[in-house]
Copies of this chain bind each other. A is one copy, B any other.
Amino acid sequence: MNKSYITLHFKTSGLKMTAQRSVIIDVLLRHSREHINLEQILAEARANNPAVSGATVFRNIVFLEKTRLISKMKLQDNKSYYQLQKAGTAEGHHDHLLCEKCGKIVEFYSEKLEKLQEKVASENGFEISRHRMELYGVCRTCRTKNK
């Protein structure tokens, strides 16, 4: 996932490339390995170009989410966090591990867990289409620090 790919994505959707859009894409690319919220995206975009409004960030993020170029995750601080999808994993599902001390978010995927979820669901008469799983705890770094 690089800038020209995303730019093309906008163009082929019949949308125009603007200075604001460009800056927002840059921010997302700089944080492609993390999850950031609207506030953070706006602050960083403005550092590069003060002519970016919250409404514009919001609208562009909504578009990218609807077209599946970014994924959204709502955490318990009641804010939504976004992250660019990885190149080949447009539909690459994963879950999250969250450190309660430092806020670090680690992605993981476990085939076994997925299968087991399906099994449990089916035992309860459900056919599942998606799920949300967040594991909260303390990461290794923070556990070491607190000694």
Contact = CB atoms under 8 A, between A and B. Distances in A.
B134 A131 contact: yes
Interface string A103-116: 00010101011001
Given A108-B120, A117-B135, A125 B100 contact: no
Interface in A119-140: 120-121, 124-140
A139 B116 contact: no
- Protomer copies: 2
A129 B99 CA distance: 10
Interface residues of A, number: 33
A145 interface: no
A41 B109 CA distance: 38
A143 B117 contact: no
